[in-house]
A and B are shown apart, each in its own frame.
Chain A
């Protein structure tokens, strides 16, 4: 069979060729395997590791904010919350409906949850409700068998135990916004909170701590399979403030519904013992998230609850400024303490009358009397003799007119005017009349309640340039940009003579402790605790000529917004000064009537508690501790 032989030969030849072709393809495959698994192996191994390992951040506990005795002003509380894992339920809607019978879930929340369910992977827990009460949390726990996909969970949340009392100093935390995101990946964690203002903001870095991390093996859709290893973070630092929570709480309560500010400080160390601004807001509300209505309520409140009046409120110091004017006059040598002026209720300068607060005058006044009676005519006189430049120089020495470098945002500088300043800002020459009204702390002069407390401290501590401080941490965070403010470690001597200071202090002593002193009614009677003060009443609005001819309206007759600010500054005890206070009541009327009684009560309380002479741990021995009553 010739043809069969041909066919067979052809088949054998071609088969061998085909087999050769197949085997060369196999060789190609083997070569490719060698290339991938030997030559390129390292690169692919790295890619495989990148695929499977995911770093999860473990946020550290935020540092606490505590007062000088360790009382917590801001801490972390367990946050009872309920999360939903969509893949564990057949119907998210159904589970939410069942949950609604146990918890209150409003429409807005519901929409947000459903939106997140749509956006995230089915195994990612979604927060349903946070900050539940223990009862609510327990109720959910009992019902979990009937709530597929619902997991009760405990997290950490910021808590401010005293609510509004420390809001302006401590500040609050809130959700991170777009602008605050930087290279710290912690900020991108869902639910992470960042300090928005106050100490929480200034010491954000210290309080935040360092995040730990956990290396997790994940599968292709990102679900965690197991933890490979874990590196614990470092909890945030505690920030200890100089405040005394007890005095601050007392002061807050004492201010009540007034719109006001109180600063109490140690005149030697500069420790701020109380920094209180009312009304305030509840920082816990900010942490949880305020409703638009509540936020607008805070924003539009005429009593400005969002503003820390102790450092951001600028007010005419009124008669409290006379302390600075008196010192300027004495120190520059234009008058002595014996200089007398006869007050007849008004003096004339050019075509203008300048009035004393006492319509028919004080009669013959020397400096000490002028301080204790707060005679305006006397101070018009010495202000004119001293001149605005000298007054300004001493006012600045006492701490007015520039920020004091407290570790808080938004500290205002106040204003100590000079002719040059007026020319620069208004383009008009300085008028002598403006020197006169500056002499009684009106006109352009502005100060913050903190500055007035510092002024009082510097008068009472013998002329040392004490600086206020809220924390003993010396390194001021750079974000405040305080470089231009000289921060003296040790108070520097101001160069004001003891004799001049003694005159002013005697005047202040009489204000409170002399029968005819403007604050005699608000003196502290307890021996060894008497204070020496100075009243001030700052006009919000100029008294018109017509009104003066008719009758000067009493504050009670005016609209709240037009009433005078009442001020009072004091130090105590008279014989061995330790503490200084400044009280401001916005639109409260006269300083002697409204501010002095509040100052008296707070000063009395401060001396009883005597925080400067008490060490940490002796807190329990205080008889006035509310816990013991």
Chain B
């Protein structure tokens, strides 16, 4: 890695392509293909309506990922704050022009397509925080004054998302940011105090939860209390899981999923279908592949010479891992049903797009890992 071009970023395109982490791309494609196979099974052996559209989305996403990967990482550093501001404005505008979907305002109609500003914010917040800490010393993260701005950068969008209301995304934003703070070197006691404060505020926060959110939590705590009502999803998901056994019921043979006992099997509960049809073996393989992706992501972060790249890779891979852990824990009845999809596998366009952009950034960090970026970077020469 002593190549000078790697250090100053003046690489020809072919070199950038060679520097691309193709192994990570391969694993991503394998995981997405598992998703296609499950969607194909979910519609009883038909490409329609899910599998074919998911393939197209993944293809588009892959293209976007490569494009972003090849863009100089410093561009992202330069535009981190403007992107964050735009995302914040979009998020605030949801309040006024948002479309109501699933009982919550989450979408904004941009004429050509519908945008989910909270998805944009997931990336924008990581970029903004990375930029902030990139320009600070370790000592700054130890002072309250140095933490005031980044904390606000997290709390403002989190508050807006919570108001939509979207508890799941709010928690993702907060927890993802917390991991960035953690790795940026914020002192342990700050986390301990915050966690204590957070736990202490649960009884107060409970009052502000919507009825359906309260119900989800209560049902999670005791799913058998209402087997035909809200506990139905969790119960049926556990039945599907357990009945899969070690080797599963066979591809396209899942009774729980194919006879519609399983709710939302193409989105949030797709892991359940996988576990029912391919058993413990299939579930473990997918879990392993996710672990590989996460390890790669973290590894890329550690390999980066610049703090911005480290924090971007870490922030994105942390959000990704939160998705994986929360979704799988949810379908196995370890967490309440919060409506978080399984990344790369669940059917859905917006989440796929966000993920691929995120991986594009990670790959960009990898390509530009040897770059030396000064703390006070304010643009190209």
* Residue positions of A touching B, CB distance < 8 A: 3-4, 6-8, 10-12, 14-15, 18-19, 22-23, 25-26, 28-30, 32-34, 36-38, 40-41, 43-45, 47-49, 51-52, 217-221, 225
Contact = CB atoms under 8 A, between A and B. Distances in A.
Given A32-B334, A33-B284, A18 B182 contact: yes
Contacts of B261: 48, 51-52, 219-220
Complex A-B, nearest 3 residue pairs according to Cβ-Cβ distance, in ascending order: A44-B242, A48-B243, A219-B259
B238 A15 contact: no
Contacts of B138: 3, 6-7, 10
Given A37-B244, A45-B245, A29 B185 contact: no
B294 A15 contact: no
Contacts of B280: 33-34, 37-38
Given A33-B283, A37-B283, A44-B242, A22 B184 contact: no
B105 to A, nearest CB: 31
B149 interface: no
B332 interface: yes
Given A45-B243, A49-B255, 19 more contacts: A7-B185, A10-B138, A10-B185, A11-B314, A29-B287, A32-B332, A36-B238, A36-B241, A37-B244, A37-B246, A44-B243, A47-B239, A48-B255, A48-B256, A51-B236, A51-B239, A51-B256, A51-B259, A219-B258
B259 A220 contact: yes
16 contacts: A7-B185, A14-B185, A15-B310, A18-B183, A18-B298, A18-B314, A33-B275, A33-B284, A40-B242, A45-B245, A48-B240, A48-B255, A49-B255, A52-B259, A217-B255, A220-B259
Contacts of A23: 291
B295 interface: yes
Given A26-B291, A36-B332, A220-B260, A7 B242 contact: no
Contact of A37 (B137, B279, B310, B334): B279
A37 B272 CA distance: 11
A3 B137 contact: yes
Q: What is the interface of chain B mostly: helix, strand, loop, or mixed?
A: helix
B86 to A, nearest CB: 28
Nearest to A44: B242
Interface of B: 137-139, 179, 182-185, 236, 238-246, 255-256, 258-261, 275, 279-280, 283-284, 287, 290-291, 294-295, 298, 301-302, 307, 310-311, 314, 318, 321, 325, 328-329, 332, 334
A182 B96 CA distance: 62
A52 B261 CA distance: 9
Contacts of B284: 30, 33
A249 B356 CA distance: 89
A315 B294 CA distance: 99
Contacts of B242: 36-37, 40-41, 43-45, 47-48
Contact of A11 (B240, B291, B302): B302
Contacts of A14: 182-183, 185
Contacts of B328: 29
A572 to B, nearest CB: 72
A11 B259 contact: no
A38 B314 CA distance: 35
Given A10-B138, A44-B238, A225 B259 contact: yes
Given A15-B301, A26-B287, A51 B255 contact: yes
A12 B259 contact: no
Contacts of B275: 33, 37
A221 B261 CA distance: 8
A442 to B, nearest CB: 71
A45 B249 CA distance: 10
A44 B137 contact: no
A218 B283 contact: no
Q: Which residue of A30, A40, A44 has the most chain B CB atoms within 10 A of its CB atom? A: A44
Nearest to A5: B138
A119 B70 CA distance: 61
Contacts of B310: 8, 11, 15
Contacts of B243: 41, 44-45, 47-49
Contacts of B329: 25, 28-29, 32
Contacts of A51: 236, 239, 255-256, 259, 261
Contacts of A49: 243, 255
A51 B332 CA distance: 18
A11 B184 contact: yes
Contacts of A220: 236, 259-261
A24 to B, nearest CB: 11
Contacts of A40: 242
A18 B259 contact: no
A342 B227 CA distance: 94
A48 B294 CA distance: 34
Contact of B239 (A3, A28, A30, A44): A44
Nearest to B183: A14
Contacts of A22: 294, 321, 325
A518 B203 CA distance: 105
Q: Which residue of A14, A48, A225 has the most chain B CB atoms within 10 A of its CB atom? A: A48
Q: Which residue of B255, B295, B311, B314 has the most chain A CB atoms within 10 A of its CB atom? A: B255
A221 B325 contact: no
Contacts of A12: 302
B307 A7 contact: yes
